[in-house]
Amino acid sequence: MCFFLFNDVEFKPFFREETPVTHLYFCRTVIKAMLGHIGLHFTHLEELVVCANGLQPLDEELFRIAERYKSFVEFVKMCGKRLTQMSIMEEVLVPDDDYSDMEQIHTEVSKYMGCMWYPAMMPTW
């Protein structure tokens, strides 16, 4: 089944409980509002592929999608080695009961991505 959505008005029929989307692919650009809705409505989503989106960052929308998982590390674990690049500021990573320090997060994320990963650092001028 194919969906061609051109504006926000056309989203409503697409985002219903009767649409059990498990795999969603965007080959060119994706509307940020669309990603925001995905995080709220597609609870069965197993795979999300955003091939290119120009220069527009999608941080907030991707975190809304990952919100249903218990932590950032679970999100990376789910993506595995398919996740070739993950850029996130250290300041937004909040320790919880499962991951108490940045070294532990660095180790786990590096393991699941299959390469060394470090959070981005905010420069102190």
pLDDT digits (tens, 9 = 90+) for 50-75: 655 555 666 666 666 655 445 577 77
Task: Summarize the confidence of residues 40-55 as an average pLDDT.
Answer: 64
User: What phi, psi does 23 have (nearest 5°)?
Assistant: -135, 130
Percentage with pLDDT > 90 across the chain: 3
Tokens of residue 70, six digits: 């218990």
